[in-house]
Amino acid sequence: MKKHHGATETTEDVGESPHRGRRPSGLPWLLQYIMTRIKVHMEGPFYGPLGANIITNCGSLMPMDDFEQDGLVIAETESETELRRPPLYKVLIHNDDFTSMGFVVFILQTIFGRSESDSLHLMLQVHNEGVGVAGLYTYEIAEMKVEKVTSLAQANEFPLLCTIEEVTV
C-alpha cells in the first residue's frame, strides 16, 4: 500500500504493463480496462453524436479514436457482419431385417424426442420404404445423435444403421 497525500491507494502486480508492473486496483480501473478492451458504442446526448466514447478514471469522456493503449492508437473500425443460418443435415434411419420395430420406436422417442404415435408412423415408413428422416439438425448435433443411436444399437446387439445427409436447397 502506498500513501499519497493522506489517501491510501492499493496496487497489485499484473506483470507487463505500461505502468511499470503495477496498476491501481479497484472498480474504476477495472471498468476502464474492460471498456478499453471492447468496442463501446453508446448512443444518446451524454455520449455525443458519434457514440464512441469511454469514461476515464476522472469521469471525463475520451473518444475511442484518440485513446492510446501500450503505445498504439486504437482505431475504430466499421465491419459488416452477415449472419447466416448454419446448414442443416438430415439424420436418416435405415431399415434392416434384424432390428426390432420396438427398438426403433424406443430410439425415436428417447434420442429424437418424438411422440409415440409419430415414432410408430416413422418406424412403419422406415420399414416400408427402407429409410426415414428422424430429424433435421446442425452438423454437430446430427453427428451426436448418430453416435447415440449407434452406441445404443450396439449395446443391444442390433445392426441399426443411422446416417447423416446434407439438406440441399
**Residue-range domains of the chain with CATH:** 2-73 (no CATH), 89-166 (3.30.1390.10)
Predicted TM-score (pTM) of the model is 0.53
> At which residue does the C-alpha cell 447423416 appear?
164
Distance CA 4, CA 9 (A): 7
Residue 12 has pLDDT above 80, yes or no: no
Decide: helix, strand or coil at residue 131: strand
What pLDDT digit, counting tens, does each position of 122-144 carry?
Answer: 999 999 999 999 999 999 999 99
